[in-house]
Amino acid sequence: MRVLIAGLIGGIVMFAWGAVAHTVLPLGEMGMKFAAGQDAVISALQSGVEQQGEGVYMMPGMPQEQWQDEAAMQSFREKYASSPYAFVIYQPGGNPAVADMTPNLIKQFVSDTIAALLAAWVLSLGAWGFGRRVLIAVGMGLFAWLNVSVPYWNWYLFPTDFTLGSLIEQAVGWLLAGSAIAWWLGRKGR
């Protein structure tokens, strides 16, 4: 029960921090830009990916079945080596969060709480003090950032400021949530 309560507290803290990071601070939107002429871009996307539907698109890109064809790869490299690049998440039905964020907020709270439950469980495994538990929680957040955000920056060219914003959001979030979890786990009279 102690771990469950610690995880719930950590989830609440992480969710609250995420709200602050995205609504008060610019962390959640670092690196994001507004595209002038977005109606033309969306129209071009609709006609360009209409048959394939929702998905993640890298442009320029080439069909995976051509990756082993050295002549096709060489032609691709020559044609697109210095061309603009885009990584697009395409949803033909639109983004429901524009009209109502409630389902997204619920999913985020559940995700934060499950992550905090996992952190609370790990932090309860040792007879560590408050400071060590907080450092371990921050380390878990950095581990996740290094394994998700950094590869997106490296391979898919996510902007550096977007990646750094994610680092700050995760490090501060797990510092705060880890502190709350460590406090609860370290209480006397458990």
State the chain's mean pLDDT as an integer. Answer: 91
φ, ψ for residue 159, nearest 5 deg: -60, 145
- CA distances from residue 148 to 38, 69, 142, 167 in whole angstroms, order as listed: 28, 30, 10, 11
141 Cβ partners below 8 Å, 6+ apart? 170, 171, 173, 174, 175, 178
Range in 19-23, 96-100, 159-163 with the lowest mean pLDDT: 96-100
User: How confident is the model over 153-177, as a mean pLDDT?
Assistant: 95
Most distant CA pair in the chain: distance in Å?
70
pTM of the model: 0.84
Tokens of residue 35, six digits: 């595209």
* 132 DSSP assignment: H
CA distance 177 to 174: 5
- Nearest-5° angle of CA 14, CA 19, CA 21? 90
How does residue 189 score in pLDDT terms, banded at 50, 70 and 90? low
pLDDT tens string 63-122: 888 888 999 999 999 999 889 988 888 888 888 888 888 999 999 999 999 999 999 999
State how far Cα 153 lies from the chain centre: 12
State how far Cα 16 lies from the chain centre: 16
- Evaluate whether 153 touches 97 at the Cβ level (below 8 Å): no
